[in-house]
Amino acid sequence: MAFWLWVLLAAIYMFLTRPITANNERAMVPLMNRQENYPFAFSTSWQVLGPFQIGTREATWGSDPLEFLGGFRALEYDQNAQFRSSIPVNGTAKWSVIQAKQTTSTATSANASLSVSYSSVDWDFLKLVYGWAAVQYQAWARGEIIIGGNEIQHVILYTDWILEFWVNDTHYFGGDFFTFRKAPPVLYLTPGTHRIDIRLVRDVRALGGINNPTIDVLVDLQKASGTLELAKPGILMSDVVDGRLASPAGSVVLRNSGEGDVEIVHVQSSDRNANSSVVHNAAKGVVIVAGQTRPVAFNVSLPSSNSSSISYIITYKLLNIEGPLSKLTISQNLTKVSSYDPHKITYFHPGGMVSYAMLRPPARNATCKPAHNATLPILLQLHGAGLEADNGIVAHALDSVPDLCSWVLFPTGVTPWSGDDWHNWGFADVEAAINFIPSWINFVGWEGPNVDVNRWIVSGHSNGGQGTWYALTHRPDRVAAAAPVSGYASIQKYVPYELWQPMDPRRTAIISGSLNSYRHEMLMENAQGIPVLQQHGEIDDNVPAYNSRLLSQVLFQAGTNSNYYELPGQNHWFDTVMTTDHLKDFYRAQTTSTDQIPRRLQNFSFVVADPGDMGPKGGLRVTHLEDPGRYGRVQVIGHVVQTSNVQSLELETQFGLTNTITIDEQDVEMSQANTSGGSSSITLLKTEGVWKVRSANQERSCSLLTNQVDSLSADREYSGENSVLRRRGRQLGTMTAILRTRGPFIIRHQGPQTAHIALQVSRNLHQYFSAEAEILVTESLEDISGSGNVISVAIGEVPPGLHPDFPIQAGAFGVSVRDGSGRLQTFGGHLAAGAAFLRPLDDERLELVLWGVNASGLSQAARLVPTLTGVGQPDFVVLGEGARWRGVEGAPALGFLDHMWSVTWSSVV
C-alpha cells in the first residue's frame, strides 16, 4: 500500500478541484426520496455484525467465527443477540444498524458506500500490545439490492475493498480488495429485492494503521450491455514516438455480460489500408464465456504517421450457434512523445497477455556517449503500491537527473500492486520489459547507445523498495547496485501475524515456510559484493523505518557494502524522495561503474528459499533443496563449498570451473563433466549423502526420458527408473509456482456444477494479476493444448493427471495422502471438505487441482488460488469444514512436495 496516503490526498484534491457540471449535479439524487423511480438501488440501512479478530491476510483461509454458527448468511438481525468475540468490551459482539455513508442511484447505476467503525474496542490499548495486527479485524454487513421495473437486469457489481460477499445464496470469493475494478462479476437480477452480505476485512497495508481503524467499502452496480462489451481499462497500446508506434502489441479487455459464450473471430482496423489481426494462432478464436472478462491481444498499426487515433472493429459470434456475426468498435487516442521522453512500451508477459512499462532511453546529450560500441545498463525504478507506472509521479520521478548513462525503465509489475508485490508474477513482468528493449531498438530504429539487458541498477519506493530487495536477493548476478527506498523487509515485519487463529506450531511453520522466499531479512547474505544504498524517512508512519534499520544491521553483519541514510523529520513520501542528493550521486556512480557483471566472487554465501524463483550468485545456482520447507544455504570459500539442505546445484563458467572442488568435505572431479556440446555449466547432485557430477549427457538422456514419459498416456504404469518425474525449474516453490505460467492459464472444469467456481478463478486471476485465462469443459488432459499452467476445478472425482501414482488422491471417498514414509492416510467426512494441490505436467508446466466433495467444499478449496500475497499456501492443503472458522488449524493435512513429487517429512499429514 505504500502509497495509500498519497493516493488518498490526491483523490481528495481531485474531488475538491473537479469541474462541477450540470451532469454531475443531476447524477446526485438521494436514494431515500427517489428510489422507486430508478431501476437500481441499494438500501440505505445496513445490518452490521462484529467485530471479530482476523490475522494479516488470514481471511483467505476462512477463519470466520460466525461460520461456527452456520455462517452470517444463516443469522437474522437480533438486537439482543450476543456473540463471543476476542476484541470488544465484555468479549461480546453485537448486531447494529448503520446508515450507508452515501447511496446514489441513476437510470443505469447505483452505489452505496459504508463506513464501519467500533467504539466498543479499546484500539489504542490493543495496539500497544499487538501493534498494527490489532487494527485489522472483521465484521459482516447486510443490505439489499432493489431492482425496480419489470425486466431482468444484466449488471456488473464492483466491490471496492471487499474480499468476499454473498448475493442471496451465491457466494463470491475474491472481490476487489485493492479496488482494481477490472473483473466485476456479472449478475442477472430479477425485479425485486436481493440480499447482499458483505464480509468486511480490515487490512493495514490497504487502509493504514495510524488513524481511526474504520472499514470503508463501496458496492457499485452498473447496467451491463447483456452482450460483448469493452471492459476497463479498455485498450492498452504503446505511445507513438517520433511518428511511429513504440511497439506493436496491443490488447483490449472484453467482458461478456450476456448469457451465452462468445467467440472472437478477428480484430480489424477500421482503416481499410491497415492489416487485420487474426486473434490467436489456433484454428479456434478466443472464447469468452458468459460472465468472463478477458484480455485479447492484437497487433496495432498506425493508419498514417500523423493519425491522432486508431479505431478497431472486433468481430464476434455466439459460440456453437450458427448466426450472424456481431461487431464492436473500439477506438483510442494516441499519445505522442519524443523517443527521449519516458514513454509507454507494450510487450507480452510470460502469462500470455500484453503488459506495459515506461521506458526512458539514454539522453541525447548524456555525457557518457560510449566511445566504442559499449552498451549501457538499465536503471530500474519500481513503483509503490496503488500506482500505475504511467502516472507522472512514477514515470517522471527521475526528470531531475536527465543525463544518466543508462536506460531507465519504470515497470508496472502488471498491476498497481505489482501483481504479487513484485514477486513471481510481478518480477516476471520486469524481466519481460527488460528483454523487450532490444526489440524496441529494432522496431523504432534507435541509433543511440545499445543496452546491456543483464546489468541492472535497481531502485524503488515503498512496495517498490521491497521489490528492489527482491531483485537484489533473487537476481544477485544481474544486479550491479541497488537503492531500496522506504521499503518493507517482509510482509510479516510490515504487519505482524500475531492475531491469526491459534494453530499447531508445525502448521505455523508450514505457512511461514511458504513465505520464505519473501523474507528479505533472511536473504541479506545474497547482497554480498553488491553496493547498496538504503534510504528511509525517520518518521515514516506508513512503512516504519524499523524495516530499513533492521536490514541495515543485517547487511552489516552479512559483510556487505551498504550505506543507510535516514532522512530526519521526513515521512513516507515527498516530491523528490527518489532524487535526494545521495540517490542522484548513487545513480551517477553506479551507472558508470566498470565492475564486471556478473561479479566473480571468491568468498560468499548464498541463501535460497525457492530455487524456482532464484537466479545464480557468483555463477552458482541452487537447483533443488532437500526439504523445500526450509532455507538452503551454500558457503563458498574459493573452491571449497559447504552446503546445507541443498540437493543439487549448477556451476556456471564465472564460478571459475577448475579440476576439483571440495563440497561438504568431498573432493569432486570436475573432469567427469562433459562440458562440450554447448553446455558450459556443471550440475552437482547429492544422492544419499554423496555428491556426484551429473554429466551433460546424463542430463540430456534424463530429459529425453522425461519427454518420453510425458508423451505417454496418463494411465501408464511406472516402474523402476522410468517412474522418475522430477520436479524442476518453474514447478518448484509453493502454490504460487502456478503463477509461473508460460501462456494464458487454462481452467478446466466439469460443466454447469463447476462453472461458477471456474468463472470465479478466472475473475480473480484477472482482477489481481490482469491475467488471461481460457475456460474449458473437459476431463481429458489431451484436450488441453495450450502452453499455460492448468487449474482443474472438480467436484467428486478429480480428473486424471500426468503422474499416475501421485501421493495425493481425492474422490468421493475423501482425500488420501501418502506421507514421506509411504504410509497412506485417508481423510473423509468433515475432515475432507475440499483440497487444493499442485501436480506435474510436461515441459515444466503445473496443474493446480481444486477439489470439493460437494459445491461448498469446492468453494472452500477455491479460496486458496493465489491472489493476495502473504496468505502462505504450501504445495498441498486438505481442508476440513472446521477451516471455515478455525483457519489453518482446520486443515488436517498440508505441506510440501519434494523434487520427486513426494510429500516431505516437514509436512503435516
Ligand X SMILES: *[C@@H]1O[C@H](CO)[C@@H](O)[C@H](O)[C@H]1NC(C)=O
The helix (H) or strand (E) run that includes residue 407 is strand 407-411
Residue 702, number of CB atoms within 10 A of its CB: 14
Task: Supply the DSSP string of 870-903, one letter for each residue.
Answer: T----SEEEE-TTHHHHGGGG-SEEE-B-TTSPB
Among 71, 99, 101, 106, binds ligand X (CB under 6 A): 106
Give the binding range for ligand X (CB under 6 A) out of 40-48, 105-113, 129-137, 796-804. 105-113
HSE at residue 42, side-chain half, CA atoms within 13 A, is 28
What letter does residue 502 receive in the DSSP assignment?
P
Give, rounded to a whole angstrom, the gap between the first and last alpha carbons of the chain. 36
Closest distance between ligand X and the C-beta of residue 507, in Å?
30
Nearer CB in complex with ligand X: 139/527? 139
How do the residues of the chain divide into helix, strand and coil, expressed in percent and rounded to 5?
A: 25, 35, 40
Closest distance between ligand X and the C-beta of residue 831, in Å?
31
Among 215, 297, 641, 835, binds ligand X (CB under 6 A): 297
Closest distance between ligand X and the C-beta of residue 332, in Å?
5
120 binds ligand X (CB under 6 A): no
Nearer CB in complex with ligand X: 185/476? 185
Contacts with ligand X, 307-326, as mask; x by CB under 6 A: --x-----------------
306 binds ligand X (CB under 6 A): no
Nearer CB in complex with ligand X: 28/724? 28
671 binds ligand X (CB under 6 A): no
Nearer CB in complex with ligand X: 94/536? 94
333 binds ligand X (CB under 6 A): yes
Closest distance between ligand X and the C-beta of residue 157, in Å?
11
Instruction: For residues 771 and 354, give the distance between their C-alpha atoms in angstroms, rounded to a whole number.
Output: 9
- Tell me, by CB under 6 A, how many residues bind ligand X: 37
Among 402, 438, 638, 828, binds ligand X (CB under 6 A): 402
Closest distance between ligand X and the C-beta of residue 551, in Å?
35
> Which grid cell sits at 364?
541525447
Nearer CB in complex with ligand X: 100/228? 100
Nearer CB in complex with ligand X: 45/561? 45
Nearer CB in complex with ligand X: 373/711? 373
Q: Is the peptide bond before 233 cis (omega within 30 degrees of 0)?
A: yes
On whether the CB atoms of residues 556 and 525 are closer than 8 A, the answer is no
Please name every residue paired with 298 in a beta bridge, in sequence order, or none if there are none.
Answer: 250
> Which grid cell sits at 596?
564486471
Closest distance between ligand X and the C-beta of residue 731, in Å?
28
What letter does residue 540 receive in the DSSP assignment?
-
Contacts with ligand X, 867-896, as mask; x by CB under 6 A: ------------------------------
Nearer CB in complex with ligand X: 400/722? 400
Among 90, 653, 697, 713, binds ligand X (CB under 6 A): 90
Burial bucket for residue 323 (CB in 10 Å: 0-12, 13-18, 19+): exposed
Instruction: For residues 511 and 513, give the distance between their C-alpha atoms in angstroms, rounded to a whole number.
Output: 5
Closest distance between ligand X and the C-beta of residue 522, in Å?
41
Closest distance between ligand X and the C-beta of residue 402, in Å?
5
Closest distance between ligand X and the C-beta of residue 354, in Å?
9
- Label the pairing between strands 186-189 and 153-160: antiparallel
The helix (H) or strand (E) run that includes residue 706 is helix 696-711
Burial bucket for residue 381 (CB in 10 Å: 0-12, 13-18, 19+): buried
305 binds ligand X (CB under 6 A): no
Interaction residues for ligand X, span 366-385 (CB under 6 A): 373
Give Cβ neighbours of residue 721 (< 8 Å, ≥ 6 apart). 705
CA distances from 850 to 495, 745, 757 (A): 29, 14, 10
194 binds ligand X (CB under 6 A): yes
189 binds ligand X (CB under 6 A): yes
354 binds ligand X (CB under 6 A): no
Could you give the residue ranges of the DSSP H alpha helices within 300-408?
Answer: 392-395
Could you give the residue ranges of the DSSP H alpha helices within 223-363?
Answer: none
111 binds ligand X (CB under 6 A): yes
Nearer CB in complex with ligand X: 275/703? 275
Nearer CB in complex with ligand X: 233/656? 233
364 binds ligand X (CB under 6 A): yes
Closest distance between ligand X and the C-beta of residue 44, in Å?
14
Nearer CB in complex with ligand X: 264/802? 264
Interaction residues for ligand X, span 24-83 (CB under 6 A): 27, 82
Closest distance between ligand X and the C-beta of residue 576, in Å?
18
Nearer CB in complex with ligand X: 48/279? 279
On whether the CB atoms of residues 637 and 618 are closer than 8 A, the answer is no
> Which grid cell sits at 46?
445496513
Among 96, 99, 113, 439, binds ligand X (CB under 6 A): 113
Nearer CB in complex with ligand X: 438/638? 438
Residue 624, number of CB atoms within 10 A of its CB: 22
Q: In 672-724, at which residue ranges do the beta strands (DSSP E only) sit?
A: 682-687, 690-694
Among 37, 45, 86, 92, binds ligand X (CB under 6 A): 92
Q: What is the CA radius of gyration of the chain?
A: 27
Q: Which among 827, 815, 831 is positioned nearest to 882, based on CA atoms?
A: 831
Interaction residues for ligand X, span 151-170 (CB under 6 A): 167-168
223 binds ligand X (CB under 6 A): no
Closest distance between ligand X and the C-beta of residue 341, in Å?
9
Could you give the residue ranges of the DSSP H alpha helices within 185-299?
Answer: 204-207
Nearer CB in complex with ligand X: 27/855? 27
Among 115, 299, 571, 787, binds ligand X (CB under 6 A): 299
Closest distance between ligand X and the C-beta of residue 450, in Å?
9
644 binds ligand X (CB under 6 A): no
Closest distance between ligand X and the C-beta of residue 199, in Å?
18
Helices (H) and strands (E) in the chain, counts: 17, 51
On whether the CB atoms of residues 483 and 583 are closer than 8 A, the answer is yes
Kindly provide the b/e burial profile for residues 269-301, where b requires at least 16 CB atoms within 10 angstroms of the residue's own CB: beeeebeebebeeeeebbbbbbbbbbbbbbbbb
**Widest pairwise Cα distance in the chain:** 87
CA distances from 44 to 99, 153, 191, 193, 613 (A): 6, 21, 18, 13, 48
Nearer CB in complex with ligand X: 277/547? 277
Task: Supply the DSSP string of 725-776, one letter for each residue.
Answer: ----GGG-SSGGGGG--SSSEEEEE-SHHHHHHHHHHHHHHHHHH---EEEE
192 binds ligand X (CB under 6 A): yes
Contacts with ligand X, 267-296, as mask; x by CB under 6 A: ------xxx-xxx-----------------
Residues that bind ligand X (CB under 6 A): 27, 82, 90, 92, 104, 106, 109, 111, 113, 167-168, 189-190, 192, 194, 218, 220, 273-275, 277-279, 297-299, 301, 309, 331-333, 340, 363-365, 373, 402
